[in-house]
Amino acid sequence: MSGTLRCVVVAVDGSDESMNALKWALDNVTLRSDDGGSFIILHVQSPPSIAMGINPGSIPFGGPSLEVPAFAAAIEAHLKRVTDAIINHALEIATQKNPNVKTQIVVGDPKEKICEVVDEMHADLLVMGNRAFGPIKRMFLGSVSKYCSNHASCPVVIVKNEPEEALPALGEQ
């Protein structure tokens, strides 16, 4: 990998950590200007069935259907509003730096979809934030950044947030 990159994917989920990762990428990564290098802001939207917390299919063995079209449509509309807000916020951050930025939205499991998009785009680098879940939450939810660092086909930079209050340097009061 050379000093300048052609395609950098930055995964955003609306969290402060992901937006800080976007800022870091815009400040620290140099894109190739000779062949249209670009930042790809990637958001993975949860499928409506996951967002609802149920599988909207029918009950096994011929039971009544649990699918409620109006409820499913309301969930999809809500997910679209959330996704639009996340992408708009990311684009506001990006336009301050004025790089060549594109957006992509996919639906599915974030860790798998992020790796798929990285593969499809032949990305040179994946940048993402780290939410720093505790051990219990991480055990149940898994760590998207850890999964991607192990499975992505390109180098991965995981941007950690700065501590809220930095400790004084040695010798300072």
Model pTM above 0.85: no
* 168 has a pLDDT exceeding 70: no
Check residue 1 and give its pLDDT.
46
Check residue 43 and give its pLDDT.
97
DSSP annotation of 108 reads S
Check residue 71 and give its pLDDT.
77
For every residue of 121-159, DSSP letters joined together read: HT-SEEEEE-----HHHHHHH--HHHHHHHH-SS-EEEE
| Amino acid (1-letter code) at residue 88 | N
* 165 has a pLDDT exceeding 50: no
Check residue 30 and give its pLDDT.
84
Chain segment 110-159, per-residue pLDDT in tens: 999 999 999 999 999 999 998 766 566 555 556 888 899 999 999 999 99
